[in-house]
Amino acid sequence: MSEKHDIRPGQSLDLLKELHILTRDGKMNQDSRRKLKQVNHLYQFIEPLLLEIQQEHPGIQLVDHGAGKSYLGFILYDLFFKALNDSSRIYGIETRDELVLKSRELAEKLQFSGMTFLNLSVAESTTSARLPDTIDIVTALHACNTATDDAIHFALQKQVRFIVLVPCCQAEVASILRKNKARMLAGNVLTEIWRHPLHTREFGSHVTNVLRCLQLEAHGYQVNVTELVGWEHSMKNELIIATYKDLPRRRPTKRLQEILQTLGLEELGSRFFAETVLPPILPKSS
């Protein structure tokens, strides 16, 4: 497939070069093509959410947690936000100061004036006056380990309408499964599912995302889980999209508690039950 077919109509070649997806002479290697395909495919999932918000009110406020080099934020801005003539803004939240500085420099160079990059932890961003009180959508693309959970906590505190997650590098649940394995083996046949170290890691990763989905459902969200792109492009491939619908909370809350108890993960209760929020106000129907 040629580079032309990988680049969306109207996509800035200058941006793709700055992100090192294209070389200076406009070429693309296999790794870059994979990265561009992944981010562009994620954009296809996010664009309808942005359009829905746009129908409700001007000035979309999007927060991208664990932004890293802000590939996702820059692509979103280039393909959608830069054409808007309102107060819409993308906030990239990242703890590594050198990445924040580089993103600020690139946004200024490209004249992407509706982008803000902040050197903050998620906990700091939740109460920071540098972010608006009302956030419409939260994204977290490959935010490692518990950073995805931190992004969920932020979204619940801010009572956002949409949450888009591509989890990565989940180790916390696996470590607890490993720690409690000997105690659980005698009394719970399900322990065979994660008895071998490889299975512990893979099962722990899967359970983490199951718990995240139940947590979101326990706060009234409708949750859809799909693969981002084909496995040949990325092994970190799970895409979780949550939309606030004010759905019943009792059943997912009960199931979440039961899974923690069944798998010996009770110590994670504070992580998945930490948030108590009032339901967001849904947009008025037309």
Residue 282 has pLDDT above 90, yes or no: no
pLDDT per position as a tens digit, 176-213: 998 888 777 777 788 888 889 999 999 998 999 999 99
pLDDT per position as a tens digit, 125-162: 989 999 999 999 999 987 776 788 889 999 999 999 99
Q: What's the rounded mean pLDDT across residues 58-87? A: 94
**Confidence grade of residue 1 (pLDDT, cut at 50, 70, 90):** very low
pLDDT per position as a tens digit, 31-60: 888 878 888 888 999 999 999 999 999 999
The span from the CA of 64 to the CA of 78, in Å, is 15
Residue 220 has pLDDT above 90, yes or no: yes
Per-residue confidence (pLDDT) for residue 275, from 0 to 100: 54
Pairing of strands 115-119, 137-144: unpaired
Per-residue confidence (pLDDT) for residue 145, from 0 to 100: 64
The span from the CA of 86 to the CA of 31, in Å, is 36
The span from the CA of 225 to the CA of 108, in Å, is 36
| Six token digits for residue 132 | 């608006």
Which residue ranges form the domains of the chain, and what is each CATH number?
1-169 (3.40.50.150), 170-220+244-273 (no CATH)
pLDDT per position as a tens digit, 96-111: 999 999 999 999 999 9
Per-residue confidence (pLDDT) for residue 274, from 0 to 100: 57
AA identity, residue 279:
P
| Six token digits for residue 237 | 């491939």
Residue 217 has pLDDT above 70, yes or no: yes
pLDDT per position as a tens digit, 222-267: 999 998 865 444 446 789 999 999 999 999 999 999 999 989 899 8
Residue 29's alpha-carbon distances to 6, 11, 172, 225, in angstroms, are 12, 18, 35, 30
User: Half-sphere exposure of residue 143, counting CA atoms within 13 Å on the CB side?
Assistant: 29
